[in-house]
Amino acid sequence: MSTPSPTPSPSTPKTPHTFSPFRSNSSNKGSSTTPTPSTNSNGGSNPPTLLLSRSNETTYHRRLRGLLQEFFRSSQSWEQVVSFEGIKWATEVREAWTQVESLHSSSKASQGRQIGSEGSSPRVRRSKFSSEDTSSVKEVATRSVVERNVIDPFLGPGGQKERMLAESLARIERAEEGLDEVESRLNRHLNKMTSTSESVNSLLLEAAKSKGPEFCFLQPMWGTWPMDRFVSTLSRITSQYVVSTRYLEDLIPCLCSSKPTSSIQLKIHLRGQPTPSGASGGGGKTKADDLRRLAFEEWVRLPFLELKGNNSRRWFEQVCEVEVGRWSER
């Protein structure tokens, strides 16, 4: 007797498999997983590096990296001194001299008006000199103005003009001392840069004797740049700081002097740059205030220092961040 086959139960419809991006990897044991890039402390991914590994570095790699980092520290400090302390004191001395010249101009104009009014007053016209000698009339008028200024609260001794003039001269003296300190600090940073550049050149010669020319001129150090390219680029950029420091030293006397020379205008002309408008006074002579303005604009402009492009310090630093292994390890 055959037993009846069990009645098949109705099949449950299968739900289609859906991928969840939040699915845990533990549920897929044995399946292959795609490795994810590691993340740094800032949450960004660290791309795989193709630079020379630490174990393959020589003493020349480590010394070159340290010298490059020292150069960038010194050059950044140099630029900070110029941009902050230098511009601060250059602005101070220029504004103080402008105030001094403004006080002198207002004083001369006031005396001229007073002399004119005295010369036309009835008292002077009735003097015995008024009809005989014009110079005597002016002398009488001038003497009268001087006597009046003795008790003038603005022009007299201890008056407002004298106090303002003393304050302006004190500002000039402080600014001159500040610019002298700026010059000293710039030279200290420049000495560090030039010393670093000389050390890098010596390192290149030492490596060429020890490792051979191929190591210095053909073989990449970490990425694609050979050693000599680092050296030549650093030397070229250092020369910009040397020339810029000497130029700023020439600008300081022009900013601080009561009668600056027009040598700054000549240097602008020799560079092939147009002289800023308003630099010439009447008769073709250059005014002192205009020369100080030219010197201040040159200080801000830094015409001999490349601030962008393939010859700038910023560009070279970005290259080192990519080309030099373990650059951020300082």
- Looking at residue 127, what is its pLDDT? 47
> Residue 262 — very low, low, confident or very high, per pLDDT cuts 50/70/90?
low
Answer whether residue 170 shows pLDDT above 90. yes
Give the Cα separation of 53 and 13 in Å (integer): 57
Nearest to 189 by CA among 307, 320, 299, 82: 82
- Sign, Cα dihedral of 265, 266, 267, 271: positive
Mean pLDDT over each residue of the chain, to the nearest integer = 77
pLDDT score at 290: 87
pLDDT of residue 233: 97
Q: What is the rounded average pLDDT of the residues 144-172?
A: 68
Give yes or no for a contact between 227 and 214, defined as CB atoms under 8 angstroms apart: no
Interatomic CA distance for residues 71 and 66, integer angstroms? 9
According to DSSP, residue 31 is labeled: S
Residue 42 above 90 pLDDT? no
Residue 292 has pLDDT above 70, yes or no: yes
CA geometry: angle 81, 94, 259, nearest 5 deg: 115
CA distance 64 to 226: 11
Q: Given this model, what pLDDT does residue 13 score?
A: 46
Instruction: Report the pLDDT value the prediction gives residue 90, as an integer from 0 to 100.
Output: 96
Domain edges within the chain? 59-95+171-323
- Separation CA 227–CA 219 (nearest Å): 8
Q: Give the per-residue pLDDT at 103.
A: 81
CA distance 199 to 315: 22
- At 267, the pLDDT band (50, 70, 90 cuts) reads confident
Is residue 165 over pLDDT 60? yes
pLDDT at 35 over 90: no
pTM: 0.70
- Between CA 130 and CA 315 the distance in angstroms is 76
The pLDDT value given to residue 39: 45
Mutual angle of helices 87-119 and 288-301, in 10-degree steps: 170
Cβ neighbourhood burial of 291 (10 Å; 0-12, 13-18, 19+): buried
Residues ≥6 apart with Cβ < 8 Å to 3: none
d(CA 227, CA 204): 7
Using CA atoms, how far residue 220 sits from 52, 57, 213, in Å, is 9, 12, 12
Tokens standing for residue 191: 């000495």
Residue 91 pLDDT greater than 70, yes or no: yes
Amino acid at 257: S
Work out the percent of the chain whose per-residue pLDDT is above 90: 51
How confident is the model at residue 50, as a pLDDT? 85
- Torsion, Cα 17 22 27 28, to 10 degrees, reads 70
For the stretch 185-227, pLDDT in tens is 999 999 999 999 999 999 999 999 999 999 999 999 999 999 9
* pLDDT reported for residue 136: 59
pLDDT of residue 59: 97
Share of the chain above pLDDT 70, in %: 62
Is the pLDDT at 63 greater than 60? The verdict is yes
Task: Examine the pLDDT at 130 and tell me if it is beyond 70.
Answer: no
Query: Using an 8 Å Cβ cutoff, are 171 and 178 in contact?
Result: no
Radius of gyration from C-alpha coordinates of the chain: 38
For 20-24, 75-79, 180-184, 285-289, which range has the lowest pLDDT when averaged over its residues? Answer: 20-24
Residue tagged 């390192």 (tokens):
203
Task: Transcribe 12-27 into DSSP letters.
Answer: PPPPPP---TT--GGG
Contacts of 161 (CB under 8 A, 6+ apart): 103, 107, 154, 155
Measured CA to CA in angstroms, residue 324 lies from 44, 75, 195, 210, 213 at distances of: 21, 18, 21, 21, 20
Tokens representing residue 81 in the block:
């001194």
Residue 117 has pLDDT above 60, yes or no: no
- Torsion 147-149-153-156 (CA) sign: negative
At residue 152, the pLDDT reads 54
Predicted confidence at residue 257, as pLDDT, reads 87
